[in-house]
A and B are shown apart, each in its own frame.
Chain A
């Protein structure tokens, strides 16, 4: 599924957080958006997912203008997102968290009598999504008892369980390191081709391992878009972003 962004703009007061952003994400592509802190990456995701209304511009999903659609409507059209700060239902088990996402697209939720816990179809689909995120062994743990890394995987599993064709991932690796991060990247790689992905990520290793194309966002503007290697060697990008990142990492 194709996702297009045309001349998207958003200001908070005098601050332009999204400044005439246009992008086209091809079906099956992993498109990474990188940029320094405060560049407006999360705000962009919020506008794509419908959490925030843009001041101007359009968001087009497979040729259909979805700019005015609510977050819930977009999910039903196949556009799902994960959150940078984990948003789960803390008192629900892992399985229930994911089964609810399956429930949202399968049949009416205005059913008042039959026990949802006994709906095998929901649980099966939820377990499939959990397996893809590598969390199936923790299905019956209450979400608030999970480790940080497990929370990140649950976040991914929930997004996958909505049956998306376009997935917006807001720093899925935030706070995850080492082997856990490698395993996470491998899982995303396994999804490649099946889903269109917009990936915001600070972990450059992950970005260059996954992305087909990279866009660099600085002060709300896209200053470069292209293949990872081309972007990596772009002098403008190095000056604005990568150099700074390497210095701070050193």
Chain B
């Protein structure tokens, strides 16, 4: 039982850092530009497809990862330049419609280019296999690598936001956009940088997860809404909130799916517990969101209600 718990906790942590990578960009885009972007999940999917393509072409996960990054920058910049920058001054409804259109387009483009059957990305040799954790418990090296990489990026973001000039502008922008333009900063460029940064982080999350998931067109969708929950829980515009929200959501989601039915079996007969567990587990994060929002409408670290 303890082993299972530790295992699931690690799985939750691994999902959490991935969610954070996606949510970090999203929360900045929401907080600083006040733009809702439904196509953010698409970027996660694109990252996975890019690494699948590059890894297959070069025969190496690492080359794939290396080539994916500039491609992700290009995708982010292009998306910002062609569509997003025209949406900043628009109503949220316009933003919803345009980015919803982008989601439809992107899913089809992926189908046209890569086909409908899922792709897979081989694990990099050096990170395959498992390490002993405690007792008989083994844990895959690659998942540990994801956790480490995610935490490293989180630390990097934290340092950037708190100790660099661009981070200062980001923080100022999330609180008061007019102030940033009053400082004489080129808002257009700042937005382009933030959006592209967010896009690259989402692509990176998709690329990192590609070897342990099947890469298919639906992968961006479920993650998108989970990411929204993370952003809403954490408070829009807050990196710290996004991090805690991501870990919280992922751990609740992972542990709930495994331990919910086990706990329910104590009070219900097995069949009923099975059904109730299957029903409740995927709803848990939304219930968590509802409870947190009920107590704090602006999220854990949000400034506005």
User: Within 8 Å by CB, do A and B touch in the complex?
Assistant: no
Report B's interface with A, CB cutoff 8 A: none
A residues within 8 Å of B by Cβ? none
